[in-house]
Structure 1
Amino acid sequence: MSSIIDYSQPLSAVLKESTKEAHQNIEHSEGAEALLRGELAREEYARFLIMLWYIYDAFERALDRHSTHPVLEPTYNPALLQRAPSLAADIAYLLHLPQSSWKVHRIHSELMANTPAALTEYVTRIQDLANSADPTPLLAHSYVRYLGDLSGGQTIRHTLAKAYALEDNKGLSFYSFKELHSSKTASLGEMKRIKDWFRRGMDAGAGANQAVKETVSEEAKTVFALNNGIFASMQPAAGIPSSKDLLGTIKGGSLSEQSFPLSTVISVLAAVCIAHFVLVVGGFMGEEGYAKLLAVEDWIAALWQAK
């Protein structure tokens, strides 16, 4: 049952509350989990980035077009947030082509010849908003995409670097941001400041206008659904079983009949529990905590591979 949303709150608080369920749904989609685990084949990951490029290209053009709109202007900062150029650079690197030539690659040609309905629906929605009398809902697209890139995208970045042997940020520039007030690469702490700045901008743009808050809130749910469609169109490669597989094995009560040995399941789950205990009791916070979390992740991965 949906909770009652208090629209007297700032827009950032309204969005946090109203999109909880949608956020959880997308986190547990098969495509999203495969991305988080680095289980997409390199070509499939490139295909995913190409779809993202079309999405960002559409909505960043829309933001440029409506940059002075009172609801959108406080969060309009293409020098800080724009992702389409970074996506183009990453795609070109992954496909071993000059940045000006990646659209001639077979993967792009195949995607254009058989464009997923989810991608067409997503881009069409953005274009419809850009051409509408009221482009206010575009703020929801910025909220879902940019704050997601500044948050979960940083965890994905580490996973992808290992999965595809990417070094020196090559092929990973999509996940890098500049500092809010300089051209230096943003640290995790600086990314938090960027997110705080963005939330303040959303709140300022919406003000006390309840209709705006309701409109952006409803559109945010639509954006999550559109992103879910993109993830559903992805084709995860066979690899390490997901947490759902492991839990399903245990709940099914037939461990000996599954493809995962009992000792492996117990070892991995024990490692996860120990890792959680260490991180919580140790009180690791900020960038230090993130570094330690990555070290624990490497340890668990090594444990799995040894089985």
Structure 2
Amino acid sequence: MALLAADLKEGTKTVHSEAERSKFVKFFFKGEISPATYGRFLISLYHVYNALEKALDQHKDNANIQLIYFPKELGRKEALEQDLEFFNGPEWRDMLSPISPAQKGYVDAIERCAATKPDLLIAHAYVRYLGDLSGGQILSKKLQKHNDLPEGKGVAFYNFDQIEDKDGFKEQYRKRINQVEVDEETHKAMVEESCQAFIRNIDVFQEFDHELPLTKEEQEAAEVAEAANKKAGLFSSLAPSNLINSIASAVGLKSNA
């Protein structure tokens, strides 16, 4: 059986690229996500990490979970609370409810793994934490650059103060994943679950699309749709009954058509 870390990377390659091409991520990289929108996005992350870290804590005695269990180094919940207060104010907890469909879907997926097959939590940890230690560091710089944030404020989520060598830690983490012992069926299920985790992320991103400006492609599509609607309206007005009614109205008569 192939090494799990390699299979997780290869198996998620397509859906990972799809997540990176999402509208939200594109606008994030361009610095076009407003602080207000980002503050609401943090609510989604809080729901996800609250569920994931609760599940990992619950199963920390599981032999496989122990291999990738680094609450001190990786735990994001407290950091998120700092950022949530920075962007949303001291009453940010009032924003946690109601939970959105994408948030609920992501949380439900994590809780399902915890309740039925805890080893699958490794797939969610792999997607989230290695992503935060990799692309998340680039997003942090974009966030600071485009929003002129005060030093150290608003980016606690991306700061892993307990990890001196991020690349070295990621390598260690992958080696730990490769030490996970599961049967072939569970191995495949973990790869599939990691793909589902990326899809859940995309679902979360898409919930914010309506808050973002139209892309060039969306603007062109909207113009095409508007032109088609106008054309359809013109043909409708030229339908026999409509045409007779229009003529009758013009001469002051009522049509029986």
* Conserved? CA contact 2:102–2:200, under 8 Å: yes
Cα distance in 2, alignment partners of residues 74 and 178 from structure 1: 21
| 8 Å CA contact retained: 1:36, 1:156 | yes
The alignment status of 1:200 with 2:175, answered yes or no, reads: yes
Code of the residue aligned with 1:161 in structure 2: it is Q
Partner Cα separation in structure 1 for residue 27 and residue 178 of structure 2: 34
Verify the 8 A CA contact 1:129 1:137 in the aligned structure 2: yes
Contact persistence 1:206–1:212 (CA under 8 A) = no
CA contact (8 A) 2:5 2:174 kept: yes
Tell me which residue corresponds to 1:4: none
Divergent runs of 4+, >4 A = none
**Structure 1 residues 72-151: aligned runs within 5 Å:** 72-97=65-90, 101-104=91-94, 108=95, 112-113=97-98, 115-132=99-116, 134-151=117-134
What are the equivalent positions in structure 2 for 1:34-49 lying under 5 Å apart? 34-49=27-42
Equivalent residues of 1:71, 1:205 under 8 A apart:
yes
Deviations 1:2-45 (A, max 9, x none): xxxxxx22111111111110111111011121222221111110
Aligned pairs, how many?
Answer: 218
2:141 alignment partner in structure 1: 158
Q: Which has the larger radius of gyration?
A: 2
1:179 is displaced (CA, Å) by 4.0
Q: Which residue of 2 aligns with 1:14?
A: 7
Q: Which has the higher contact order (CA 8 A, sep 6+)?
A: 2
Say whether the 8 Å CA contact 2:140–2:155 is kept in structure 1: yes
Separation in structure 2 between the aligned mates of residue 223 and residue 206 of structure 1, nearest angstrom: 21
2:18 aligns to what?
A: 25
Deviation by residue 1:40-99 (Cα, 9 ceiling, x = unmatched)? 1111100000110010000100000001112211010100000011001111011232xx
Higher helix share: 2
**Counterparts of 1:9 and 1:129, CA distance in 2:** 23
In structure 2, stretches of 5+ residues that fail to align are 221-257
Question: Which residue type is aligned with residue 33 of structure 2?
Answer: L
Q: Could you tell me how far 1:178 is from its partner in structure 2?
A: 2.7
Structure 1 range deviating more: 167-176 or 55-64: 167-176
